[in-house]
Structure 1
């Protein structure tokens, strides 16, 4: 039995000139940074999910901030803890990131009570 893949089902990657080093410390340190951020919008999707628009407060840091699809951020709520949240927006979208947060624990419950203007 053979399987024929439709051309649209195959992801073509650009040519990789050197092997990827997923353990390179310099890359990890680049992303290990704390950004003071502000919730600029909250959209209720369901009873348990909300979409947050979060903007880094410092304009220079905001301009330098980059990410790849599939990456996440650690969102800290002072006094309550932190939680990993996948970035929902496209890397090409500038100015803010979107975080779709499901209310599931202490930190996400506190986030769900947060209003526009809250600092995270």
Structure 2
């Protein structure tokens, strides 16, 4: 299932104004990486999205949901994450953070534990 269909199927799904291709490029430059094709597809359609208690980062003015702001903040407190990861979601439970690699895989970090792969794609994560 693609990311857009996966999100639209979720309970209480809401999306917000999408950014432009230029906004995406600027965000990638600030983070010094390239977003996965799947995340770019998401960003071109939705500025950020929420569903059933989840808030997926995006490109927006809200610092707590802006992928650049959240990723830079989390990198400063979780320095062992690879440089090609960016934050998809801060769960705000026990310090759990969900990341996506530039290849599209989804990982979870928790303080004082080794990071672990939890899904092959953002669509898979959304459908968990």
Give the TM-score, by structure 2 length: 0.24
Which structure has the larger Rg?
1
Which of the pair is proportionally richer in strand?
1
Which has more helix, going by share of residues? 2
